[in-house]
Amino acid sequence: MLPSETAETAESTVMVEPSTPIKEPPAPAPAKMIADLDAPAEPPEAVVVIAPQDETNIWFRIQRQLMMEAPEVPRVISQRDWYLRNPAYMERVAKRAQPFMHLIVEEIEKRGMPLELALLPIVESAFDPFAYSHGRAAGIWQFIPGTARHYGLEINWWYDGRRDVHAATHAALDYLDALHTMFDGNWLHALAAYNSGEGRVRGAIRKNKRAGKPTDFWSLDLPRETRAYVPKLLALADILKHHETYQYSWVPIDNQPYLAVVHAESQIDLAKAAEHAGLTLEQLHHYNSGYNRWATDPQGPHRLLLPLENAKQLETWLASSDAKDWVQWTRHRVKNGESLLVIAKKYHTTVDAIRQANGVRGSMIRAGEYLLIPVATRDLTDYSLSAEQRLADTQATPRGQHKIEHQVEAGDTLWDISRKYNVNLRALAKWNGMAPTDPLRQGRKLVVWLPEDEKPSGVIRSLSYRVRSGDSLARIANRFGVKIADIEKWNQISRKNYLQPGQQLKLFVDVTRLNSQS
């Protein structure tokens, strides 16, 4: 994890625009000897000026266009020291960034924005396309759902645009540009707002104005995470800008395109795309982490990012093949009682995909008729970076001595479940690839990890119990084989208070040991 911020005093506003260095007057030329005066003058050596875009290493291309100064304040110093002490971390990040950095830098330059922004995914996600935060933010640019949709990123069963590096980069720069305008050209305010929301930064500015205090970033009362967030970016830029001074080597990344965009006309199975591009399925899915399932969304996009040579190979196959061969099809005979939803779940697709493939309107289907269903060409476990397989891997990762499953009942929340098992809420969410505020779907199975001294037994289910006339906490606890203290904890009530008939209580019970009289 990155270091926590340290205490600091208010400093002067950070300079955003590049300043023109003050040049010292040239030293007087030494007096020439008389014999030299008659000597032919030597032609001056030609000075070769290399444009930033012509650098061989993309880090130097970024370095030569950095605009923001990092003040020597404790918040920046502590972040810079952490990065300098952890070169292995930065090496891992640089390797993740390598395929994507060129397209990001190109887009930033095209818009005339500060090149410091190319370093922002390091702060946001360590350049992990599958990063998911406790605040429900996803992808290398860490978009939350609401902001993502506002800036045109689709999020559905098939596809999550927040993890699509190509789409999310454009959306992130759109958002940052809007914030820069909103905060009157102040990039530090814009960056703080990207992290904690424009409303919070505006409120902090207004508060300082009313109190007669400075309104520069360093003077604002902002959340702890945001107070460290901007210094992290400035520290990274400072290390890159003065890498020789710090004797710090950045893992080289070639300053040339690595990925090309390939557009398919309709849904394509990722396994087929990988096969005809000459890549492994995992490689292709890593470059295209926005796709949640085994294929692109039937409604699009069908865009794929691939290394240059592999992109050419895939384009050649797409041009010579029929779109109906880009996915595999099976004929399904509708049985009595089946619905489109039941059929869709069986074949790991969606109702809309079946409707689209068969020209079906509404939900009416008849027993005996046949439907064409798009299906994966390979076993679903082979799609190791799909949402299902990533979740399965996450839930299988040992986090304690004992693993139990909890099946979500109507009304369950992660907070309820964390209290039931006496585990940390954020830990519970992490074990299940979720954020603490994510909604729960009834029937979903969650894993709970417990230490050695809390070995579970039986099958735990949550129940909603309606209090009857004459009930007491003791009577209810005895009926369901639980403790009065647990009922109090689960429902935030006290045994000192009377229960009211009709009152709903949440209970977590071992259904294998329920008293037969209950």
Active site residues: 124
Residues 178 and 150: their CA atoms lie apart, in Å, by 12
What residues have CB less than 8 Å from 193, skipping those under 6 apart? Answer: 179, 182, 183, 200, 201, 202
Q: And the tokens for 486?
A: 């647990």
Nearest Cα neighbor of 68 from 113, 133, 121, 135 is 113
Report the SS3 class of residue 196.
helix
Residues 491 and 376: their CA atoms lie apart, in Å, by 45
251 phi and psi angles, rounded to 5 deg: -60, 120
Residue carrying structure tokens 């990533």: 390
Alpha helices in 445-504 (DSSP H): 473-480, 484-491
Nearest Cα neighbor of 11 from 79, 78, 75, 81 is 75
Name the DSSP class of 159: B
Nearest Cα neighbor of 391 from 143, 124, 130 is 130
- Report how far apart, in Å, the C-alpha atoms of 428 and of each of 13, 280, 507 are: 41, 33, 19
Residues 135 and 194: their CA atoms lie apart, in Å, by 13
